[in-house]
Amino acid sequence: MFKGSIVAIVTPFRNGRIDKTALKELVKWHIRHKTDAIVVNGTTGETPTLSREEQKENIYTVLEATDSRIPVIAGIGSNSTEHTIDNAKTAISCGVDGLLVVTPYYNKPTQEGMYQHFRKISELSPVPIILYNVPGRTGVSLKTETVMRLALLKNIVGIKEAGGDFKMVMELASNLKNFDILCGDDALNLPMASVGSNGAISVTANVVPNLMSRMYKLIEKGDFREAKKIHLGLRHLNSVLFIESNPIPVKAVLSLMKKIKNELRLPLTPISAENMKKIKAVIDRYYPEIYKL
């Protein structure tokens, strides 16, 4: 259902407010460069700093710009099941095509607690749900057997795996039919595809949507030789995009590309001058073509 190059899109700001004009232009730019779907209100979109009204504003803006040409998936997760359900109802009322639901963070639920959390959301959702496993940010990790149980529930159609658990990916790919496995770590996009993933929810796609789209189309055709060339060619970019906490570096690059202002919300701050120099050096040396995208 959801596959290929899915961008975890940034939220552009201007003078402290969402820059809807810039966001619409980003979405249209992604469509021109064959991005397969858009995740709005994810971590890359600085959702923890957005009010509920701003989250709705983001969703409506992206939906308007896509005009049903590609799917729109809303990040709705929190560490409260009831809060997550409220977020889900809001996103569904806006008309999204899917929900991305992160494992509850900070309060560290058990596997049974996470199962019940996702079960509650699946019971109310008429749209597909993608699980999001990112232990580096949440402090908990879904186990393979828990994902297998969840895959039996209504509308749970896939997982974004950002914990680098290749064994889980192989088990899911081997045992589940029509279950989307999406890579959540751009450095692992090709390796994870080799053992069963069918796409990525990507930070790097914010900057090079054309290359990410091309790589996944090659993977879908089984042409791993050519896909490998793209993946290895992106290794320097994948590295510098995480030189500081996401989305600090990717917003810096998009500002160099004149797509957005380099503005974030506290507690995130613009990239340091030293790291901006490093990013610019990498772009100028390896990816000067992105200034023309």
The three-class DSSP label of residue 182 is strand
Q: Mean pLDDT throughout 194-215?
A: 98
Q: Say if residue 215's pLDDT is above 90.
A: yes
Per-residue pLDDT, 19:
98
Q: Mean pLDDT throughout 41-56?
A: 97
Examine the residue annotation and report whether 160 is marked as an active-site residue of this protein: yes
Q: Mean pLDDT throughout 134-158?
A: 96
Q: Say if residue 154's pLDDT is above 90.
A: no
What pLDDT band is residue 72 in, cutting at 50, 70 and 90? very high
Written as one string, the DSSP assignment of 48-106 is: GGS-HHHHHHHHHHHHHHHTTSS-EEEE---S-HHHHHHHHHHHHHHT-SEEEEEPPPS
Q: In this predicted model, what pLDDT tens digit does every residue of 217-234 receive, in sequence order?
A: 999 999 999 999 999 999
One-letter identity of residue 76: I
Examine the residue annotation and report whether 132 is marked as an active-site residue of this protein: yes
Q: Mean pLDDT throughout 113-131?
A: 97
Q: Mean pLDDT throughout 266-277?
A: 98
Model confidence pTM above 0.95: yes
What pLDDT band is residue 241 in, cutting at 50, 70 and 90? very high
Strands 72-75 and 98-102, sheet pairing: parallel
Of 3, 160, 251, 259, the catalytic one is: 160
Q: Mean pLDDT throughout 158-165?
A: 97
Distance CA 42, CA 78 (A): 11
The CATH homologous superfamily to which domain 4-224 belongs is Aldolase class I (3.20.20.70)
Neighbouring residues of 8: CB distance < 8 A, sequence distance ≥ 6? 39, 42, 43, 44, 45, 201, 202, 203, 205, 206
Q: Say if residue 198's pLDDT is above 90.
A: yes
DSSP 8-state class, residue 204: G
Chain centroid to CA 204: how far?
10
Hey, where are the domains in the chain? 4-224
The CA-based dihedral angle spanning residues 143, 134, 40, 259, taken in that order and rounded to the nearest 10 degrees: -150
Of 132, 216, 251, 259, the catalytic one is: 132
